[in-house]
Structure formats: C-alpha cells, structure tokens
Structure 1
Amino acid sequence: MAFDRNKPYNQLPDLPPTGIELESPVILKQLAKASRYLGELKGLCESLPDPQLLINTLVLQESRDSSAIENIVTTQDELYKATLAGDPIENHSAKEVLSYREALYTGIELMRERQGLIITNTMIEIVQTIKRNNAGIRNVPGTSLKNAINGEVIYTPPTGETIIREKLKALEQFTNGKVPFEADPLIKLAMLHYQFESIHPFADGNGRTGRIINALYLVQQGLLDYPVLYLSSYIVKYKSDYYQLLRGVTEMENWEDWIMYILTAISETSQLTISKIRRMLVLKESLENSMKGVLGASYKHELLQLLFTLPYIKIDILVNHQIAHRQTASVWLSKLVENDILHTKKMGRTTYYINHQLLSILN
C-alpha cells in the first residue's frame, strides 16, 4: 500500500530497509569523519581526571537544547537556579529540562542493569521520567503530526497499541543486534532514530525520548563512555532540515540524505564538544591559579569543583556542602567577585554568584 500521510502508517517497514544503497562513497567519506571526531571525543573524556565534573554540565546543556527543539525554552537564569537543591522550581520549562537530564541518566542506568540492552520498557520509563507521569504506549486513535502554520497533516504514525508494540519489538531487535545487518553503528544510529520517530509510540515526549535513545546507543556500542555528545545543538540549528529529511525517508525512501544529516551532526557536535571540554579544562586551571592568589591559604579545591558543577551558587550551597561556614563563605565569594572571577546577580532576595566564564564557553 502506498504511503498516505492522512492515514496511520501501519505498514511502516521494519529495519533494515531492503534494496537501498547505504554505503555510497559520499556516506563513507562522512562516516570516516564522524567516526574520527567521535573517537577523539571519547579519548578526551577518558583522559579527564574527573570526567563527571565537566560531563554533568555538558549534559545539562544537551538537555536544554533537546527541550528547545520541542519549543521548551528556558533562560540561563531559570535553568541554573533550578539546579540548586532547596530552591523551589517555579519555571515549567526549567522543570522539563531537568526532567530530561534525569531521564537521560535513568536510561543509562536501566540499560546497564539490563545487560546493555535497549528495550521497550526502557523507552517507556524514559518518557515517564521526562513527563513526570505514568504515560505508556499510545492507545487512543487520532494522532497525527501537523504543520504548525497551516494545520496540514504531514504524517500519521501507526495506530493501535498492539501494532505499536510489534514495531517497537522489531526496533528493539534491530537496535540490540538481533537482526542480521552489516553496517557501521553510526549508520544504524541514523536508521534507528528515524524508525523510533516514525513509530511515534507516545502521546508526548517522543522527540526527547528518541534523542536519549541516541545517547544510550552510542554508549551501548562503546563509542562513548558518557552521554556527552551535544547532538541536539545541531538539530536546533538545522531544525527544518531535520523534519524535512525525516519526511524524505518516509515519502521517497531517501535514506542517503538522512544518514548524511546524522553523520554530519555527529561530526560537527563531536568537534564542538571537544572544543568546549578543552576550553573548560583551560578555564579550570586558570581559575584555580586565580583563586589561590585571591584566597591564599584558605583556598579549597572543593570550591573550585563546585563552581564547575553548579555555575550558579549561593552562600547556602557552600554551607550545605560543608565547604565553609556562612560568614567565611560570604567573605570568599565577595573576594572572588571583587577580582572578576565571579559575577553576582540578585534574584528576589537571594544573591547568586555566577561562574560567568564557564557560561560563556557553554553558550
């Protein structure tokens, strides 16, 4: 049956596609480039003395960009204020971004608990963490994706929980290597991402869940040890191409352009992430020297670590982390502000101390 965008695409073929050239010279050339930079990123992360310190901050930025693709936009102030334990999170978008970050880490943990497998239940638990509810597989008909401007239907995903579960099971088999298919994992990543987005198994949160699955797959395949790739920054930048190329696969079986898009995204965001990590390392060394000069014998390495884990801090944070008593913390932070190591921002009654140089790198 020919594809009809107005009817549920219950005939969505399982992976892998047949009769399609997936390793053309142009794809292989871009694949080599993406693999090289991704390997460089992995090696850089492995060489970090404390990788989790920088990676937590990068994952938060990925969470912010992935949410922005769904038009969930939060400001820097809202986001970093929301990361501080004890502060009420009043901004809905900031809550969504933090839920995405939690879902990413949840997905990694679930995959490891399940012998490295990415399964349907993992996908469901990811979307439930993102949405903070008990969402499951879509079981109500009538879902369609529409043009936001004119309301035209551009795609109607498969409908019926049984059919959706069957397609997810087939995707599970492909993802976990249970289906014979000889291709590079990065080409498979492009294909499985298309397939998940086309199945569109949930009422909401599909895009974010799909991008988390990308991160899980890179870790599963040993291409990265941490879910650090800044992939959503590329999709945000080329958002219209992203959706157009997804449609191109569905309507014209144009796999080559879609695979090229994903490989280019991996290549460019690997380079971007490498650059950010290197600049963060340089900044960390510079701030350590500056802080030692300003604080003298009272300098504590834990304070430096904190400024890279939480770019926005306040006096209470130092107290709660048992880095300093309140009066001492106030003196230290004031000295760091006087020497332009930190900037301050008043929000309500609270003064926040901001690692502005780190934010400049992240943004």
Structure 2
Amino acid sequence: MVFTPPQNYNEIKSLLENLEAYINSPEFHEIDSLIKMPIIHYQFESIHPFYDGNGRTGRIINMLYLVQQKLLDIPVLYLSSYIIKNKNDYYRLLQEVRTKDAWEEWIIWMLKGVEITALETIKVVNKIKILMDDYKKEIRSEFSFYSHDLINILFKHPYTKIDFLQKELGVHRNTASSYLNALAKHGLLNKVKIGKSNYYINQKLFNTLTKR
C-alpha cells in the first residue's frame, strides 16, 4: 500500500498548526518527552509538507525537540544512521501506525534507536577527547605557538582555513598561514587546495566522525 500525504495547502497548514500545538501545549506536557518524540516524528512524516527533504527535516526536529525538553544540551543525537540502516523497518512501522494503529511497536523501535545512537555518540565523543589530548601533547611539545584556542579551532570542524585562525586567534594572515603549514608539514593536518583557497583537513577527526 502506497501512502499519499495531504496535498492541499490549507490542509497541510492546519495539520502543521495542530502538530505545533501538540509539541508546545501545556495540555500535553505530562506525556514523557521520549514518548512524544516518536509521535511528533510520525506526524511530521505523515504530513510530508515539503516536496523534498522531509526525512532530514523530521530527524532534525527530533533533536531540537529533545533540546527544547532539556534532554540534550546540544543537538548531537542524530538518528539518521539508525534509520537508514533499518529503513525497511522504519517505513514498515510508519505504515503500520497508519493501517493498524500500531503505536507501541513504533515508539519502542524509535526508543531503541535513541539508545543505540546515544551509546554510539558517547563512543565518538570519547574518541574525540582522546584525539584532542594527543594533539595538545604533540603541538605543545613541538611548536612554540601552541594555545588552547588553537586546539579548539582545529577541532571545531574537520577542516580549517587561514581566515579562521586569523580571525579567532587575532594574528596576522602570514602568521596564521605559517602555523597551519607547519602543522601540515608535521602530519597533523592535510593541506588541500580547492580553487584559490587552501583547506587544512584534520583527517583523524574526519575519520572519527564518519566511521560510525
């Protein structure tokens, strides 16, 4: 059976207003937030308000709702990996809520995803902490320009640029360039030229974030 989401603008608008009320109305605050999150996700995916990107948007709403409810400090619990790895179950269970009112199985499946993703995320965070400590020790022992701010820049994203160091460290462009080139020569960063810009990739951080 193929599910056809609502097509009429006014109907979609009304359903989204209803969903927003369910999310924020004090009347529903007694429901545990971890139970509400799968219900919200189901409802958003069933409304399917956009031509494209509904799945990604729905998963972002999951995280933002848990942040709103103070179950997360920052939005790091991204369920995409769990859902994509188990997409047959995902679509089957969504459909069974529609056709069989099978809420319990759907909610339990999503809660299992939260548990699995949380444990995986903790492992990744711990690996990043260890990697940061390794970089701190190496840069501190080998380079006079070591600073805590520099380490934070190198781990803020999997890549950095001369402009980033110049702005965040408050140094001259040539100084920022010399820092990054020295780190690249030492093997801590990979220097990649794209167009006219040089990007300095923290390959170990990138690998940690992508190999999950």
Letter in 1 for 2:185: E
TM-score (norm 1): 0.53
* Structure-1 residue corresponding to 2:107: 259
Q: Cα distance 1:249–1:337, how it changes in 2: closer, same or farther (>3 A)?
A: same
Q: Which amino acid aligns with 1:167?
A: L
Cα drift, residue 182 of structure 1: 5.3
The letter for the 1-side match of 2:180 is L
CA distance in 1, matches of 2:136, 2:98: 53
Label 1:316 to 1:173 Cα distance change in 2 as closer, same or farther (>3 A): closer
Is 1:157 paired with 2:18?
no
What secondary structure sits across from 1:168 in the alignment? helix
SS in 1 for 2:198: strand
Deviation of 1:292 after TM superposition, in Å, equals 1.0
Question: Is 1:283 paired with 2:124?
Answer: no
Secondary structure of 1:321's partner? helix
Q: Deviations over 1:148-184 (max 9, x none)?
A: xxxxxx1111232333333223322322244458542
CA distance 1:162–1:179, shift in 2 (3 Å): farther
Q: Count how many residue pairs are aligned between Structure 1 and Structure 2.
A: 210
Residue 19 of structure 2 is aligned to residue 171 of structure 1: yes
Q: Does 2:149 correspond to 1:302?
A: yes
Aligned to 1:312: 159
Q: Does 1:293 align with 2:141?
A: yes
Aligned-residue offset at 1:359: 0.9
Alignment partner of 1:219 out of 26, 46, 67: 67
1:11-43 CA distance string (max 9 Å, x none): xxxxxxxxxxxxxxxxxxxxxxxxxxxxxxxxx
2:57 corresponds in structure 1 to 209
Higher helix share: 2
Distance in 1, matches of 2:17 and 2:208, equals 41
Q: What residue in structure 1 maps to residue 41 of structure 2? A: 193
Gaps of 5+ in 1: 6-153
- The match for 1:24 is none
- Cα separation, 1, equivalents of 2:119 and 2:201: 26
Unmatched 5+ stretches in structure 2? none
The one-character-per-residue Cα deviations of 1:169-210 (angstroms, maximum 9, x if unpaired) are 332232224445854221111111101111222333322332
**What one-letter code is carried by the residue in structure 1 that aligns with 2:72?**
L
Check the 8 A contact 1:294/1:336 in 2, yes or no: no
Letter in 1 for 2:159: Y
* SS class of match (1:222): coil
Structure 1 residue 218, shift from structure 2 partner: 0.6
Moved more, 324-333 or 258-267: 324-333
Note if contact 2:189-2:201 (Cα within 8 Å) is conserved in structure 1: yes
Aligned residue in 2 for 1:270: 118
What is the deviation of 1:307? 0.7
Name the CA distance, whole Å, in 2 between partners of 1:206 and 1:356: 31
CA-based RMSD: 2.3
Q: Provide the secondary structure at the position in 2 that maps to 1:155.
A: coil
Identity among equivalent pairs (%) = 46
Question: How many Å separate the matches in 1 of 2:185 and 2:31?
Answer: 56
Q: 2:94 and 2:126 mapped to 1: Cα distance?
A: 33
Distance verdict in 2 for CA 1:195–1:324, change over 3 Å: same
